Amino acid sequence: MKKTWLVVIGAALLLGVVVLAGCSNGVDGTLELKGNLNSQQEGIWVNGEGKVTAVPDVAVLRVGVEAREDTVAEAQDEAKVAMDNVIKALKDEGVADKDVQTQYFNIQKVTRWDNDKQQEIFLGYRVTNVVTAKIRDVAKAGTVIDAVAVAGGDLTRVDSISFTIDDPTPYREQARKLAVAAAAAKAKTLAEVADVKLGKATYISESSYIPGPIYRGDMIAMAESAPAMETPISPGEMEITTNVQIAYEID
């Protein structure tokens, strides 16, 4: 009698383990896997790109002054006078107050290492003050550079000039339309080749890119020499790019 009960209890326990195993590894796991596959793989997924070129309408000039003297006070005073002259020149050339912004200010002790004495030699203090100025009349960029170079004298430092578009919204919209059209055309072709009917779009993502070309190098030398002729500046063109990813149903 005891042996019979042991057999029944053992069979029941075994059946319970089988049922539990089926729930955890069979039904639930399979449903979850199918859900992930369906959400990621069903339909037609395509990418589209749209590009639009535009001429920049704003030049951003990064300009500053750098003074070195025996004391901090002397270096500060010299840099202040030079920067006041630079900012005045910017305003005289039509750059608005709101378009001039301080980007960097630094006071630094200047030393050099003497190998013979095996010690640092004090050389003075350096004061650096840098601003960015938005030039909304790009054609005047060269004139503005020459004006600040003269105003700041030998302390002038022109770090770089870059170009941008003040309101890129219309160009982005145009690039977006081109990108969506390219994606739709690709999806239509895929559907025709696969002999399926293309349904509605179920997913759309977008990313845009507007590069900002920067020209560097000889501009520091131009500022130091303060040329009599106007500095030639060419804004060129910028390319606004929009990429989209779209998923379409298959009917």
The CATH number linked to 146 is: 3.30.70.2970
Give the model's pLDDT for residue 141: 94
Q: Is residue 31 part of a domain?
A: no
* Any domain includes 30: no
Specify whether 196 is located in the same domain as 228: no
Residues 205 and 158 in one domain: no
H-only helix segments in the chain: 2-21, 28-41, 72-92, 141-152, 169-194, 219-225
Of residues 69 and 211, more confidence is placed in 69
How many structural domains compose the chain?
Answer: 2
Whether 13 shows a pLDDT value over 50: the answer reads: no
Contact partners, residue 68, CB within 8 Å, separation at least 6 = 75, 110, 123, 124, 125, 126, 127
- Position of tokens 């002729």? 229
Are 80 and 129 within one domain? yes
Per-residue pLDDT at 24: 40
* Residue 88 sits in the same domain as residue 186: no
* Structure confidence at residue 41 (pLDDT): 64
**Average pLDDT value over all residues in the chain:** 82
Quick one: 48 and 59 in the same domain? Answer: no
Which domain covers residue 143, as residue numbers? 55-166+216-236
Please check whether residues 106 and 229 belong to one and the same domain.
Answer: yes
Does residue 3 sit within a domain?
Answer: no
Write down the pTM of the prediction: 0.68
- The CATH number given to whatever domain includes residue 199 is 3.30.110.170
For the segment 202-212, the average pLDDT, to the nearest whole number, is 86
Q: Are 179 and 222 part of one and the same domain?
A: no
Same domain, 180 and 139: no
